[in-house]
A = this chain, B = another copy of it.
Amino acid sequence: MTRRILVIGGLAAGPSAASKAARTNPNAEVVLFEQGEHVSYGICEIPYYIGGEFPEDALAAYTSQTLKEKKGVDVRILTRVEEIQPARRTIRVRDLNTGSVRDENYDRLVVATGSRPKLLGVPGEDARNVFHMKTLSDGIALKKYLQVEKPRTAVIIGAGYIGMEMADALRSLDIAVTMLHRHSLPLSTLERNIRETVRSELEERGVRFIAHTNTEGLVVGKELKATHVVTNNGTYESDLIILALGVAPCSDIAAAAGIRTGGSGGILTDNRQMTNIDNVFAAGDCCAVKSVIHNRNVYIPLATIASKCGWVAGENAAGGNATFRGAVRSIALRVFDLEVAQVGLSAEEARGAGFDVATETITAWSRVAKMPKNNKVTITTITDRASRRLLGANLLGKDGVVHRANTLAVAIQHRIPIDDMQQWDLAYSPPFTPLWDPILVAANATRKKL
């Protein structure tokens, strides 16, 4: 049976869904609509591109042309979908070059409209030296601004993951960075001990961290450039302003069509990525996802989850029967020389979800002590006393942090009791790992706390 499968959104979940749909049903006509000019690019690489570590020509995984040639997906860029009309199985699309509007019919639809950066909602936010890092175009525009206008000072508003990465990138360009944050410490979903270390690292690397600060407005001067950030906590002069306030799901056109959304604003789907509307699937940052930890819907806008859900949505839209097994929330980032990772819930989230939480922190060697490259790894565990299973972990150090976090993510995903983890048969090799891996040290210490 030939089908017409339409996909709305070209960043992560969309191309994943479209490619998988075309592969699952080679007779289907698969068309992807993207309002911007780029598709399928690595948004997570943008900070490294800004910092000069990553080349511009590698940012896009696929172009419209290669998505067609290699994956069999028709791509319409600069085409905005303005309405979903489920009763007629059509979507209304606007050609942003010409402004013309037309309807496109579908047998199956995948909504992958992604997320939008949160804004301050204050005057001056649209000044031309105010950037957020949500699209490839944002990244290219900032890179050009840096090259042409050579700013000496920057203010980053927000101290989440993107804020950290941008601070690292801008400091590597020798720009004086001030970071304004609502809370006392960066990275709100991590544990206090980890957050304190991250703040120290920021400050040691020359980032001026201003806590407990809400932005009240931007002063815009000549050439439509913001010159000052006005806050409850002083006024900060700056040549460049980065907004890093997080993202919210783009679910407006879905909601307008009667597609159900959750408390986060994210589209709700079943484990086959089907929405409540017949023939309409959804995936990616526009959606809520099920947490494997407590089976509730949560909002986790990450490319890893978007890709997997997109895959499931695409396979099912093409007549397959795939299921998404839920999200752990696994995050890793570099903060200058520090490797930082979080998997699963924070202690606060775990308590909020009704778990009887025990936390424990250990510091152990990443390799055999006295071997080259050995360094400390700190692991904070968040464990449920009742089931004795790991609910979350934070890891921090300068060696071997991220892969260890992934191993712990597997423990969370498969609900492995801490007592079993303590006996994991892990490799020991002096150049790489110690006899008792930090993971085993953490499991053993945690076990004693339960």
Which residues in A have some Cβ–Cβ distance to B below 8 Å?
42, 44-45, 48, 53-55, 58, 292, 302-305, 307-308, 324-334, 339, 341, 343, 368-372, 400, 402-407, 409-411, 413-414, 416, 420, 423-433, 435-437, 439
Residues of B contacting A436 in the complex (Cβ-Cβ under 8 angstroms)? 307
Chain B minimum-CB-distance residue to A341: B427
Residues of B contacting A304 in the complex (Cβ-Cβ under 8 angstroms)? 425-428, 435
Can you name 5 extra interface pairs (CB under 8 A) apart from A409-B426, A413-B425?
A: A44-B429, A48-B371, A308-B425, A328-B425, A414-B414
Are B370's CB and A54's CB within 8 A?
yes
| The one of B48, B326, B372, B424 that contacts A410, using a Cβ cutoff of 8 Å | B424
Residues of B contacting A327 in the complex (Cβ-Cβ under 8 angstroms)? 425
Residues of B contacting A427 in the complex (Cβ-Cβ under 8 angstroms)? 304, 330-332, 341, 343, 402, 405-406, 409
Are A430's CB and B45's CB within 8 A?
yes
Distance A414 CA – B390 CA, assembled complex (angstroms): 15
Residues of B contacting A402 in the complex (Cβ-Cβ under 8 angstroms)? 427, 429, 432-433
Residues of B contacting A292 in the complex (Cβ-Cβ under 8 angstroms)? 425
Task: With both chains docked as a complex, state the minimum distance between the C-beta of A168 and any C-beta of chain B, in angstroms.
Answer: 9
Distance A308 CA – B444 CA, assembled complex (angstroms): 12
> Which of A307, A324, A330, A411 is the most central at the interface, judged by chain B CB atoms within 10 Å of its CB?
A330
10 smallest beta-carbon distances between A and B, as pairs: A403-B403, A332-B429, A332-B427, A328-B425, A330-B427, A402-B432, A58-B370, A406-B426, A334-B431, A407-B407
Residues of B contacting A437 in the complex (Cβ-Cβ under 8 angstroms)? 406
Residues of B contacting A420 in the complex (Cβ-Cβ under 8 angstroms)? 325, 413-414
Distance A333 CA – B428 CA, assembled complex (angstroms): 9
Distance A34 CA – B204 CA, assembled complex (angstroms): 50
Task: With both chains docked as a complex, state the minimum distance between the C-beta of A206 and any C-beta of chain B, in angstroms.
Answer: 20
Distance A421 CA – B351 CA, assembled complex (angstroms): 28
Are B432's CB and A42's CB within 8 A?
no
| The one of B58, B332, B368, B413 that contacts A42, using a Cβ cutoff of 8 Å | B368
> Which of A400, A425, A439 is the most central at the interface, judged by chain B CB atoms within 10 Å of its CB?
A425
**Given contacts A42-B368, A435-B304, A435-B307, is CB(A424)–CB(B429) below 8 Å?**
no
Residues of B contacting A307 in the complex (Cβ-Cβ under 8 angstroms)? 435-436
Are B432's CB and A332's CB within 8 A?
yes
> Which of A42, A410, A433 is the most central at the interface, judged by chain B CB atoms within 10 Å of its CB?
A410
Are A435's CB and B331's CB within 8 A?
no
Residues of B contacting A44 in the complex (Cβ-Cβ under 8 angstroms)? 428-430, 435
Task: With both chains docked as a complex, state the minimum distance between the C-beta of A340 and any C-beta of chain B, in angstroms.
Answer: 9
Chain B minimum-CB-distance residue to A416: B414
Are B429's CB and A333's CB within 8 A?
yes
Residues of B contacting A303 in the complex (Cβ-Cβ under 8 angstroms)? 428, 435
Residues of B contacting A339 in the complex (Cβ-Cβ under 8 angstroms)? 432
Task: With both chains docked as a complex, state the minimum distance between the C-beta of A136 and any C-beta of chain B, in angstroms.
Answer: 14
Are A372's CB and B429's CB within 8 A?
no
Distance A343 CA – B324 CA, assembled complex (angstroms): 28
Residues of B contacting A305 in the complex (Cβ-Cβ under 8 angstroms)? 425
> Which of A406, A409, A416 is the most central at the interface, judged by chain B CB atoms within 10 Å of its CB?
A406
Task: With both chains docked as a complex, state the minimum distance between the C-beta of A329 and any C-beta of chain B, in angstroms.
Answer: 7
Distance A370 CA – B439 CA, assembled complex (angstroms): 30
Residues of B contacting A308 in the complex (Cβ-Cβ under 8 angstroms)? 423, 425
